[in-house]
Amino acid sequence: MQELVERFRRHLEAEKRASPHTVRNYILNVEQLVTFMREKGRPLLPGAVDIPLLRSYLASLFGQNEPSTIARKLSSLRAFLRFLRREKVIEENVAMLLRPPKAKKALPSFLTVEQAGVLVEAPLAVAKVRDAALFEVLYGCGLRVSECVGLDLRDVEAEVLLVRAGKGKKDRVVPLGEKARRAIERWLPERLALRPVDDALFVNARGRRLTARSVRRFLDAHAQAASLPKTHPHALRHSYATHLLSSGADLRAIQELLGHASLKTTARYAHVDFEYLARAYQNHPHAGDVFKSGKK
């Protein structure tokens, strides 16, 4: 078996021209399987690598490895067995019959109510009226940054925003809160003074429509000035959803406001909200050990 592993190494280096890092990882992953076979008393022969063995090996990795790590190890074994099949050492690449574990989806990041308030109000401290309106719309209306910079003057009405051709090319209507409306009203005279080249609601110093990259740069600058953790525009949208949920809003209503095609996507905020509430509950002097023990 060790001789075959060395042949596989030469194959990766000479034929595949893989990087040293890739070669090292592939060989390490294959050698870990060989070690597992030795520990289980299996013969160190290519024919001994069958589906039960691979399933047992992958199962042994759970708990100590992330699903993405296990998937990479399986990918290395597939490549090794593919090489052995090409060399006519084995007849079938049984590793192809196994599915890699699904990677965990990271929960949306969000700001606390206090952090969101500080960030949204930070531009006013430096007379950045445009940025204040921009952040109020991102947080107060839960828009994607692309939707926000895509707004035109005609999309702003007395109590609603018209979001045209959002994700999936779908239009939707979202409520325009009083704070966001007033922030826009303060911005409009300054916008006019910049002589906009079109009807974009948010423009730069040259009167041209803002880009998503510009918004991220503005957000970084104001977060740093307000001594807040580094964040991103989508975190304001996540915060909008999480804070609505904390206030008792219905999950399906939040789905409509965010423009999600599937309730499953919106339901991720229920997990975020629970974690947030659990952490807050732990700070209560009479919280007990309910959350600390993992009971929910």
pLDDT digits (tens, 9 = 90+) for 253-289: 888 888 888 887 777 766 555 555 455 545 545 444 4
Query: The tokens of 158 are what?
Result: 């007395």
Interval 20-66: pLDDT, tens: 999 999 999 999 999 999 999 999 999 999 999 999 999 999 878 88
Q: Rg of the chain over CA atoms, in angstroms?
A: 27
Comparing 102 with 186, the larger pLDDT belongs to 186
C-alpha 276/C-alpha 266 separation (Å) is: 16
CA atoms in the 13 A half-sphere facing the CB of 287: 16
Residues whose CB is less than 8 angstroms from the CB of residue 129 and which lie 6 or more positions away in sequence, other chains included: 123, 183, 186, 187, 190
SS3 assignment, position 219? helix
Of the candidate ranges 9-13, 90-94, 290-294, the one whose mean pLDDT is the lowest: 290-294
Closest by CA to 92, choosing from 153, 42, 51, is 51
245/254 Cα distance (integer angstroms): 8
Provide the 8-state DSSP code for 14: I
pLDDT band for position 101 (cuts 50, 70, 90): confident
Domain ranges of the chain: 2-97, 113-282
pLDDT for position 51: 92
Partners of 115 in beta bridges? none
What pLDDT, on a 0 to 100 scale, did the predictor assign at position 186?
A: 93
Kindly list the catalytic residues. 144, 167, 234, 237, 260, 269
Is domain 113-282 in CATH 3.40.640.10, yes or no? no
Please tell me the predicted confidence (pLDDT) of residue 227: 83
Phi, psi of 156 (to 5 degrees): -100, 115
Q: CA 165 to CA 134: how far, in whole Å?
A: 19
241 within 8 A of 266, measured Cβ to Cβ? yes
Helix axes 251-258, 263-282, angle to 10 degrees: 120
116 burial type by CB count under 10 A (0-12 exposed, 13-18 middle, 19+ buried) = buried
Q: 81 near 95, Cβ under 8 Å?
A: yes
Q: How far apart are CA 210 and CA 28, in angstroms?
A: 48
Q: What is the pLDDT of residues 182-233, one digit of tens each?
A: 999 999 999 999 999 999 999 999 999 999 999 999 988 888 888 887 888 8
The topology (CATH level 3) of 2-97 is DNA polymerase; domain 1 (1.10.150)
- What is the pLDDT, as a whole number, of residue 82? 95
